[in-house]
Amino acid sequence: MAKNSAKARIFLFHGNDAIMSRRSLQRWERAFIEKHDDVSHHRISFYTGSLEVLQQAMEQIITEQSLFVNPALYVIYRPTAQEKGKRGVYSEILLKVASQLLKQGRDDITLLIWEEKNLATDHIMTKWFQEHDLQGTAKQYEFTVPQHAELLHEAATYIEAEGYTLDTAAIRLLQSYLTQMDKEQRSVARLRSGDILAIDMRRSWLWNVLDSALLAAQGKVITVQDIEHCTDPIQADATPFEVANAVEKQQWQRVRFLMSTWNEENDMGPYFVLLGVLRQRYRTHLPHSSAQYALDLLAEMEVLTKNGMSKMAWLFDVFTFRMEEAQQTEPLLDPRMVWLSVQ
């Protein structure tokens, strides 16, 4: 066992740039293994597993002992994966073990913790690392997706390394896509959790497009046509903002078509985001005669869904019908229908 005067080594990799944080984690992991031939290497994932099983796995770290004091490396994946809210029991389990390692001065054990999203400043994990970072007993690395100019420079460099070039028009098109994606992501972040942009998909989206464009390119120059050809399948599902734009233009057939791309059974997120976006727009720049009626319908939809009376997808179908027919005296649902649905 290590001497009590030593310090355990604990590192957190997180940020909204999951690609770069994961690459940094992997580089650190490889370097550690190459340096220590006799390392005891473990991986623990919080993606799945009950609280009890994960707690046992973490407690095993504390009891890890080696007769020859071989170094042990533990890589912890997604400690907040099963958490909801700012304070979670899974994070507490991990931090309890980390604190015990520091107290024992276990310099034979190294923890590498990877979180694929940006942790809020008031999250229990962030607070713990901020405190111990100042003390020099732990370290956190935060990775943020850079500005568009830097992203596009990386893209051009990547393409050139493959023996191709990006023409000017293709770069401008990519920049417009990135700008729109940034706006939509930040709007969703504000609707869901304040100002936090937990996961930024721009880099991963850009690299998917570039790899597809390299395969599809007819020549050595990546053109606008190559980019457009590769972006359609990536953006197959409509975004809540596209649906909201169609509602704003009263294109009701398009509204139905766009929402048909959503999978209601597996993900209700887009419906709730759309509800928030529409409420915001009807309160601000959609002050036409039907705005108050639309707001009343949206409020009724939220109540019915939260009480488990009706599915949001079906309620949006009813909302679309009411707005299209301009039935501004009709409630979303007949009270008798609501009563029967819960019997």
Compute the average pLDDT of residues 139-144: 92
Of 162, 206, 159, 166, nearest to 182 (Cα)?
Answer: 206
Q: What is the pLDDT of residue 342?
A: 40
Written as one string, the DSSP assignment of 165-224 is EE-HHHHHHHHHHHHHHHHHHHHHHHHHHTT------HHHHHHHHHHHHHHH-SSSEE-H
Rounded Cα gap, residues 240 and 78, in angstroms: 27
Where exactly are the structural domains of the chain? 9-142, 148-234, 240-341
Two domains, one topology: 9-142 and 148-234: no
Q: What is the pLDDT of residue 288?
A: 64
CATH of 9-142, one of 3.10.150.10, 3.40.50.300, 3.40.50.720, 3.40.50.2000: 3.40.50.300
Least confident of 125-129, 188-192, 296-300: 188-192
For the chain, the straight-line distance linking the first and the last C-alpha, in angstroms and rounded, comes to 64
For residue 6, pLDDT over 50 is answered with no
Q: What is the CATH number of domain 148-234?
A: 1.10.8
Name the percent of the chain lying above pLDDT 70: 78
Cα separations in angstroms, 164 against 2, 208, 262, 343: 53, 16, 36, 64
pLDDT score recorded for residue 153: 93
In a 3-state reduction of DSSP, which class is residue 157? Answer: helix
Q: What is the pLDDT of residue 191?
A: 46
Quote the pTM value: 0.60
